[in-house]
Amino acid sequence: MLNSVIVVDDEASILTAVEQWLTLSGFSVQLHSRADACLAQLPEHFPGVVVSDVRMPGMDGLQLLEQLQARDADLPVILLTGHGDVPMAVQAMRKGAYDFLEKPFSPEDLLSSLRRALEKRQLVLENRSLHEQADLKARLESTLLGMSQGMQQLRRQVLELAALPVNVLIRGETGSGKEQVARCLHDFGPRANKPFVALNCAAIPEQLFEAELFGHESGAFTGAQGKRIGKLEYANGGTVFLDEIESMPLAQQAKLLRVLQEQKLERLGANQSITVDLRIIAATKPDLLEEARAGRFREDLAYRLNVAELHLAPLRERREDIPLLFQHFTRTAAERLARTPPLLSGAQLGSLFSHDWPGNVRELANAAERHALGLTAPQPLLVESGQALAAQTEAFEAQCLRAALTRHKGDIKAVLEELQLPRRTLNEKMQRHALQREDFLDRP
């Protein structure tokens, strides 16, 4: 149950008395003698109620009500009035005030009004949170595409980890989408409005690595003309994505570890430490602990980076996502090229399923762009890899079921009619392919 209350009144005696009553009743109380001070210190999405006198110097209670409603129309405001202000307070309630109490009022009346207002506030915030979560889920589903069980689990993990202030290590093959997942961890978390800095550790020459990460002062080394802000300092408050972290030179690993431990860094050629607030998301193909055992990576840094770990499945292990991804990339390429997206034949679809996709999603996107350009033959789109027929059939069946469930928004009766299946057979197939009707419902 919420228990936060802000009280605004220019009479010190009333503030003191109300604070004593509410504190003894278990409320968390903030006091302000002026309305503008309340507005200046009001947190966003304040989880409580504002109690305000009507007549105050400067901004009065009605003006404060108007300002509060402009920020959050659902924030309950209880007005305290003198006898002559009752008609004014009634008018204010018509404009959105939750309640008013005529002075002098009893502690019991104030507590009763507050408890009702806090119950309403809690329901509003819970409902708002549910809508925000639904919006986040929908946005993430349109960014990290795929309905396979692995992708559904990945999206759940990303939403959970995005809100947590922890470093994350992403494991996955080349082209599996590690940077896109890192970007989602940033965009769906509290650092979204701060910088996201991506750095490929394998692409930076070793002699330039330190200056790139930490920056330098003028004259720090030959050719260092002027001061330069490094990537870590530039990302202050935000997220640094270090791709192919296993390629970072050992000397720089030690310095990065110190930054993570102390949240401070020094530019090359400087003596002064700079405080930084960073979240590190690292990506790697090999196991960092195995790299550490081989002497190629610092074990202490590996543990510091791997507070949480995400595994991205290669595309060959989630073949049921291939048609959806291919259609998305084809449509995107066609729109960019001002072309009509070409249709995909059954033979071409079979070829998509049979290929092993060593380049993963990146390779699939390239194939889709070629398809949008009309550079593919009308027969098999790609070279087949000899995958077993049973595996191809299973993947195709899962895609057909998923497509029907998506089209009919989880309406089982409509799916049965379209696919001409008995109910028991559909249930068995959905269970085998880990398909849940709830995942396809049309939610607001």
Average pLDDT, 10 consecutive residues per value, the chain (444 residues): 89 92 93 94 91 91 92 93 77 86 90 94 91 87 90 95 96 95 96 95 88 79 73 95 94 93 88 92 95 94 95 92 91 90 78 87 92 64 52 74 82 89 89 83 62
Could you confirm whether domain 314-385 is CATH 1.10.8.60? yes
CATH class of the structural domain 143-313: alpha beta
Please provide the CATH number assigned to the domain covering 4-129: 3.40.50.2300
User: Beta-strand (E) ranges in 69-160?
Assistant: 77-81, 99-102
- According to the model, what pLDDT value does residue 418 have? 86
- According to the model, what pLDDT value does residue 206 have? 85
Domain regions of the chain by residue span: 4-129, 143-313, 314-385, 388-444
Using left for φ > 0, alpha for ψ between -120 and 50, and beta otherwise, residue 263 falls in: left
Query: Do 333 and 327 form a contact (C-beta atoms < 8 A)?
Result: no
Query: Helix-strand-coil percent breakdown of the chain, rounded to 5?
Result: 50, 15, 35
- According to the model, what pLDDT value does residue 385 have? 47
Do the first three CATH levels of 4-129 and 143-313 match, i.e. the same topology? yes
Determine the Cα–Cα distance for residues 5 and 435; give it in Å rounded to an integer: 46
Beta bridge partners, 229, equal: 215
- According to the model, what pLDDT value does residue 177 have? 95
